[in-house]
Structure 1
Amino acid sequence: MYQKILQFIKFGFVGASNTLISFIIYYALVYLNVNYIIANVVGYIISSVWGYILNKKWVFKESTEKTSKSVIKYYIVYGSSFFINILCMYIFVDALNISKIIAPILTIAITVSYNFIFNKVWAFNNA
C-alpha cells in the first residue's frame, strides 16, 4: 500500500512539473498574442515529452526493453487526454466565457485523474 501511495505522490510531482512547464509556455505564448489553442498545443506537447521521461524512469520504473510499447501507449493516453483538454478549453473559453487565463486551471482538474489511471493500468502496467 505504501508503494502505491508513494507512486501516486511521484506521479503528482511529475504532473505538477508538467503543468508548470505547460503553463509557462502557454502564458508566454498568449502574452506574445499567439492564439490560445495553439499556445495550449505547444505547451502540451513539450510538457508531455518531459512527463514521459519522468514517468518511465522515476514513477513507474519501466525497463528499457519495454520503451517502444510504453511510448506508444503513453501517447495514446496523452493524445486522448489532449482532446479532452482542448474540448474543455473550448467549452470554458468560447461557450462559457471563462477567462483564457483561468480555463487551463479548470481543465487540469479534469485531466489529471484520467492521465494517472490510464498510465497506471495500461501504459506502464508493469508497475
Structure 2
Amino acid sequence: MDIFRFIKFGLVGVSGLVIDFFITWLFKEKIGLNKYVSNGLGFLFGVINNYFLNKYFTFQNNDSNLASQFFSFLMISIIGFALNTFLLYLLQKNTKINFYVCKAIVTIMVFFWNFSANTLYTFKIQ
C-alpha cells in the first residue's frame, strides 16, 4: 500500500466531509429544503468533490471516461454509506458506546473499504 496515496485519500475525504456538512447546512437552514433532501445534496456534492480530487490529486489518473469512472466512484461511495449506516446500527445496538464514538469507529472502518475499492477498481493503476 502506498502510504502517501492513503494519506492523500484521507485528506480528500476530510474536504468532502466539510463540503457535505456545508451544503447540507446551506440547503436546510438557509434555503429551507427538507433535511433529508439537503443531506442527500450534501452527500452528492461531497462525492463529486472527492471524485475529482482523488482522480487528479490522489491517483493522478488520466482515464478520459469520466462518466463511467464517476459512476464507479459513486457506487463505491453509496456502498460505503450503506456499510457505515449498517455498522453504526449494529455497534449502537450491541454496545453502550457513545453514538459519536461509534460513528468515528465505523467511519474509520469504512474508510478502508472506500480506499481499497477505489484503488482496486475506480482508479486501478495499470
**Structure 2 match to 1:71:** 70
Determine the C-alpha separation between the residues in 1 that align with 2:114 and 2:8.
13
Unaligned runs of 5+ in 2: none
CA distance, structure 2, for counterparts of residue 42 and residue 105 of structure 1: 22
Partner of 2:21: 23
Judged with a 3 Å threshold, the aligned counterparts in structure 2 of structure 1 residues 126 and 85 are, in CA distance, closer, same or farther, namely same
TM-score by length of structure 2 reads 0.71
Distance 2:65 2:49 in 1: 18
**CA distance 1:42–1:110, change in 2 (3 Å):** farther
**Once the two structures are aligned, what percentage of the paired residues are identical?**
23
Cα deviation, 1:17-49, whole Å, max 9, x if unaligned, reads 1122223344x37x84954x5554332211000
Structure 1 gap segments, 5+ residues each: none
Q: Which residue of 2 aligns with 1:123?
A: 122
Equivalent position of 1:109 in the other structure: 108
How large is the Cα RMSD of the aligned pairs? Answer: 3.4
Structure with larger RCO (C-alpha < 8 A, sep 6+): 1
1:52 counterpart residue number? 51
Q: 1:5 aligns with which of 3, 6, 14?
A: 3
Kindly tell me the number of residue pairs found equivalent between the two proteins: 119
Write the letter of the residue equivalent to 1:56.
K
Secondary structure of the corresponding residue to residue 64 of structure 2:
helix
Contact 1:74 1:123 in 2 (8 A): yes
Q: What secondary structure is seen at the aligned counterpart in 1 of 2:61?
A: coil
